[in-house]
Amino acid sequence: PAGSSAAAPPPADAAAPPPPSASAPPAGATPPPAGDIYKPEGIADHMLGKSNNETIDNLHKALNGYRERDAANKVPEKVEAYGEFTGNIPDTIKPHLETLAADPISARMQQYAFNNRVPLPVYQGMVQQFLSVSSELGLMEPVIDEKAERAALVPDVAKHLPEAEQRQAVEKRMNENYAFLDSVAAKGAENGGLAKDDIEFAKAMLGDSAKGHRVFEWIRGVAGGGNGNGPAMLFGGAAATDPRQDLARRAALPENTWGHKSFNKASYDQLQADYKKHIGD
């Protein structure tokens, strides 16, 4: 109506105002001058271009330059590459390199080399040189072949048995030796035994070899059996604490039982021979 103060509605075909640009300054803020260059914090002056695009190009070129330099110096892209030795490796140190693969010390050294961009040939050459010199000077302990050592620990009376039973016999032999050592530690140095630290040292140094376990068994024999108080043990490899007990155990085995499907004449004959040896006719 005439005289009304209400504003007239916009035409139906009037376009809506465009939304503000994401790069536009906030409402009320002073817009930057035309052509203003963005300078990232910490960027060197010589990297700043005449435009933002030129600055990005300069940074990209610099990054490629670092990559090309690392490639020329043979710096690997991943830390694990330092531990991947290839080429002609002396047989004297090859087992030690394989052992180092799972060593946490080696992992830390490789990480240090990676962080400091040490060339791969330099790092691997230093490691091989260190191992070679250490081997020549007799500073490297021989690598233990666990499978061979356990095979050497199979008692004579179990060598004819299946592999699974041989493994059980080896475990029994080793555990009896460790039990004897633990009993010596339990006595304590003040009561005719040894300190626990001494026993743990002996286990660590000798416990992973057949020779070491034969030493343990000799000590058991001198001490008088399984815990140092009983009858002397057999030295033939069975690691028994009492001949009669061991013979009784063997007599009950299927391979020494007439009529059993697992009966083994050779095992039975050996048992009879051992009876005569330790008990008599």
Same structural domain, 207 and 265:
no
What's the mean pLDDT in 192-213?
93
**CB neighbour list of residue 73: distance below 8 Å, 6 or more residues apart:** 117, 119
In this structure, are 207 and 260 located in the same domain? no
Q: Which of 104, 137, 170 is a domain's end point? A: 137
Looking at the structure, tell me whether residues 106 and 132 fall in a common domain: yes
**Residue 159 falls within a domain, yes or no?**
yes
Give the C-alpha distances (Å, rounded to integers) separating 101 from 95, 107, 133, 173.
10, 8, 19, 31
Q: Which of 277, 233, 271 is nearest to 251 (CA)?
A: 271
What are the start-end ranges of the E strands in the chain? none
Q: Structural domain tally of the chain?
A: 3
Mean pLDDT of the 147-153 span: 93
User: Is there a single domain that holds both residue 130 and residue 169?
Assistant: no
pLDDT in tens, 102-141: 788 899 999 999 999 899 889 998 999 999 898 888 887 7
User: Are residues 189 and 157 part of one domain?
Assistant: yes
Among 42-56, 161-175, 192-206, name the one with the lowest average pLDDT: 42-56
E strands present in 202-275? none
Whether 244 and 257 have beta carbons less than 8 Å apart is answered as no
Q: State percent of the chain over pLDDT 70.
A: 76
Residue 12 has a pLDDT of 54
49, part of any domain: no
Element (H, E) at 133: helix 120-136
Q: Which residues form the domain of 178?
A: 149-224
Residues 153 and 133 in one domain: no
Within a domain: 169: yes
Give per-residue pLDDT as tens, 10-32: 555 555 555 554 445 555 545 54
- Residue 275, exposed/middle/buried by CB under 10 A (0-12, 13-18, 19+)? middle
- Indicate whether 45 belongs to any domain: no
Is 104 within the bounds of a domain? yes
Domain presence at residue 35: no
Q: Which residues contact 238 (CB under 8 A, 6 or more apart)?
A: 155, 156, 157, 173, 246
- Using an 8 Å Cβ cutoff, are 64 and 92 in contact? no
For residue 156, is it within any domain?
yes
Structural domain contains residue 230: no
Q: Which residue has the higher pLDDT, 254 or 119?
A: 119
The answer to which of 32-41, 196-205, 231-240 has the lowest mean pLDDT is 231-240
pLDDT digits (tens, 9 = 90+) for 172-195: 999 999 999 999 999 888 888 899
